Chain A
Amino acid sequence: QQQVKQSPQSLIVQKGGISIINCAYENTAFDYFPWYQQFPGKGPALLIAIRPDVSEKKEGRFTISFNKSAKQFSLHIMDSQPGDSATYFCAASKGYGGATNKLIFGTGTLLAVQP
């Protein structure tokens, strides 16, 4: 019940296209859903995050869509660029502060944007 399932494992998109990565969770107590971007040899960087009280959040070219009833959320990268090529992780957690606020990570999606 603590798992977060992420798909696809890898994704190839043409420059200018839309990249879509999906995640699903089981634990209805999760109330924070961030997406992280990681380049090789670097730590993850927070891209965008959503709480379950909204169904969509947009920041620049990045949008999270959240479906509470289906327990799914997705990341959309509009106008994908070669510089977006990285590994993307979804995550989920419940509450904040201390050991209870563990981030449960998805398995990651390796995105390659072809010029």
Chain B
Amino acid sequence: GAVVSQHPSRVICKSGTSVKIECRSLDFQATTMFWYRQFPKQSLMLMATSNEGSKATYEQGVEKDKFLINHASLTLSTLTVTSAHPEDSSFYICSAQTSGNYEQYFGPGTRLTVT
């Protein structure tokens, strides 16, 4: 149980284009989803928190117009990186949580490379 998937696992895009990453909870309903980015050999950095049907809450320093988050259903959240630049290249990881529980279950991550 508690499986979270991400799609795609890897994506390469050209500078200036937009890319969408999907995060799905496969066997449970996720009232809250979190998006992280991780640079090589570094820890996870929380980008934003989203509750189903509500606007995402972004961490300080994260551009909300650049990283668009949508949590339209209890099993799906999407992160769209708009006008991507090489410095946006990173490992993006989502996690999902059910109401009333502490545990966060993480997806396998998406490697984004912007050329």
Contacts and interface: CB of A to CB of B under 8 A. Distances in A.
Interface stretch (A13-21, A37-45, A64-72, A76-84): A37-45
B44 interface: yes
Q: DSSP majority for the B interface? A: strand
A54 interface: no
Interface residues of B, number: 29
B93 A96 contact: no
Top-6 shortest CB links A-B: A43-B106, A99-B57, A32-B102, A99-B49, A43-B109, A43-B108
Given A43-B4, A103-B44, 10 more contacts: A44-B44, A46-B104, A46-B106, A51-B102, A93-B102, A96-B102, A97-B31, A97-B32, A99-B51, A101-B49
Interface of B: 4, 6, 31-32, 34, 41-44, 46, 49, 51, 57, 91, 93, 95, 97, 99-109, 111
22 contacts: A34-B102, A34-B104, A41-B91, A41-B109, A42-B109, A43-B4, A43-B6, A44-B93, A44-B106, A46-B103, A49-B102, A89-B44, A97-B97, A97-B99, A98-B49, A99-B51, A101-B32, A101-B49, A102-B34, A103-B34, A105-B44, A110-B41
